[in-house]
Structure 1
Amino acid sequence: MDFSSSSQYVVSQELATAVNAAVTLEKPLLLKGEPGTGKTRLAEELANALDTELLQWSIKSTTKAQQGLYEYDAVSRLRDSQLGSEKVHEISNYIRPGKLWQAFTAEKRPVLLIDEIDKADVEFPNDLLHELDQMAFHVYETGEQIKAEQRPIVLITSNNEKALPDAFLRRCFFHYIQFPDSDTLKAIVDVHFPDLHRDLLDTALALFFELRDVPGLKKKPSTSELLDWLRLLLVEDIDANELRKSREQGGLLPLSGALLKHEQDVERLAEYARIQRR
């Protein structure tokens, strides 16, 4: 396998190498990095590159590992029994396959994305260890064994909200997505806005990196927020001169709500501007 950048998606050489290594080793690829650095988008592009299905399991604080395997709908079975339905005699009618089951039984090797695993409770990763190792699990209600015909390509993302268990980490190939440098960001922007004026791009990127360097920000603006900001600048027809003028005046950047997501960061930026002027 040789996953790399395309005309629609820019990926660093380090990240491409990590994807190829995880596929070769047949291990889950654990991706960490700032929110908005394209972890979820990577799974979409990988599935597109392989012309295969993407199965996305979005993890919440209430998600249990069992839900990825299957769920037994006992309530529906009870209701059907009260109504005298013939369905109740076949328990498999009430088994709902989860994302792992779907991935294991897919006709073509799919990409399985377990998105934001750190949102679940601390036991969640350990509860998946056996299934991810053996690529198989037992359905207790029916007695059947579900075993993968071919190992799905598994991507797991984390925003580092919780530490993951060592036993889980040992079974993954790990990659931390570094924030893109200026040249890589320009390449990413070119994919989304190929006709963007160079002066506006250079000025916007300089101000964007300057904003990220402000000490004490609760949340630094990310790549996705930069793209949103540039889209708004184009819609509002704000040029490079207007951006530079707003910077010289020491106020907030135009449409800064696309970049700053916390009131503390707005206050911190205003304080930082006052310090600089003094």
Structure 2
Amino acid sequence: MKMQNAQAVVIGQVVSTVLYNRGRGVVFAIHGKQKPASVGSLSGVVSYGGNATFDIAFESGKISRGLPESILHGRQWSIFPEIKTAEEVIRIVEHAQAEEIREADEREAEEREYRAECERLKTAPEYSDLSQDKKGAVQVTGNIRKELKAKFPGVKFSVRKRSYDSVSVNWTDGPTEEQVKEITKKYRDSYFDGMQDMSVSCSSPFNEIYGGVGYVFVDRGYSDAMKQQAIGILKIKYDHLLDGEEVSVARYNSGELYRIRPDYFGHGHGIQGEINKILAVTTA
């Protein structure tokens, strides 16, 4: 049962919020004189009024300090008539404070490890040819180009900056897309979170030293010779399904093979889709 918003809150009052998965908590300090009667909202969304602020310890181990009175009486919070004893309040607060210290220690340790890895990478012999200049996508483009040339000699890659935050990599035959991504994935420092409708950082020590962008697009093309090789593999494996059907590079290039045996290889895929699968895992 919720307490009426017009009532003042006391030390030990049980509250809860839907924000940040914090759940139930207890008020353990009140700063200033409360004026709950002055609290209101505009269109049921924006809260105003009040005078006091509240410190709240949560059973989950979190602490909110200086929460405005208008927010506490708002729609995202619930105030209950239950009052915890002084001993219970102390227990909940001490638990939350201990969690704060533990999390702070973990953050400090992670930061030390992060900085140490940055220092190690600056002189890592495997990356000695890469640029450490802070030039965004330009730096990433140059470094990816150098890594690919060293890893796959003889393969011609086109590595280009598409925008300030994206790079594209194109090549024909050679290594698979997955093999190339083993190199390029290190340069990704953010991704788009559709649930939050925002870009989220996933930056690493490698990005700190050798650059990062939000998007690295890889696109592998295939020569007719490679397509013919894949068709040969297909014929050996599925000759019994072809019923004399002509399977050629010309028909593959025209897209006709999508219509052949969709009953077996899946609607919209046909033999063409199976050839694509073979190509994807075949190196030249």
Q: Scaled by the length of structure 1, what TM-score is found?
A: 0.21
Larger strand proportion of the pair: 2
Query: Greater RCO between the two (CA within 8 Å, min separation 6)?
Result: 1
Q: Scaled by the length of structure 2, what TM-score is found?
A: 0.21
Larger helix proportion of the pair: 1
Higher Rg: 2
